[in-house]
Amino acid sequence: MTKNQEFFQKINEAFATGDVDFILEHTAEDVVWNHVGQAVFEGKAAFAAEMEKMRGYIPQNYVTKEIITHGNFAVIEGSMTLPDEEGINKTYAFCDIYKLNKFKDGKIKELTAYLIEVNA
C-alpha cells in the first residue's frame, strides 16, 4: 500500500467515525468542498463549520467499496445509512473525489462529494 493509499484509508475512517479533528488537520486553507447538488464550501473556515455537524457522528452500515488513488487524486466509493430530516433511516451511495495540494504529504485541496439515496 502506498503512502497516499494509507492516507486516504485514514481519511475514510475519519469520516466513518466522525473524527473531524483528523480531517481538519489534513485540509488545506484554500480547500473547496463541492457537495454536488447541495452546496459549495470555500476555504477552511467554511469547510470546518460544515464538518463540525459531523463531529462524533457515526453513520450506520458504513461500507467502503473502493479506494482508488493516482498521484495526488483519490476516489472513495461506498454506502451508508443516515436518518433523513424526519429521522427515518435511508441508505445512500457515496462517491468522493479528492485532490491534494501536492503529491507528497499533501493536504486536501478539493473534495467533490456525490451522495445519492438508493433502495436498501
Instruction: Map out the domains of the chain with their CATH numbers.
Output: 3-117 (3.10.450.50)
Q: Which residue has the cell 486536501?
A: 108
Predicted confidence (pLDDT) at residue 75 exceeds the cutoff of 70: yes
Predicted confidence (pLDDT) at residue 86 exceeds the cutoff of 80: yes
Predicted confidence (pLDDT) at residue 79 exceeds the cutoff of 90: yes
96-115 mean pLDDT? 95
36-55 mean pLDDT? 95
**Verdict on whether the full-model pTM lies above 0.85:** yes
Q: How confident is the model at residue 99 (pLDDT cuts 50, 70, 90)?
A: very high
Q: Look at residue 85 in the predicted model and tell me its pLDDT.
A: 82
What is the chain's mean pLDDT, rounded? Answer: 93
Distance (Å, whole) CA 37 – CA 117:
13
Burial string for 66-92 (b: 16+ CB within 10 Å, else e) reads ebebeebebebbbbbebeeeeeeeebb
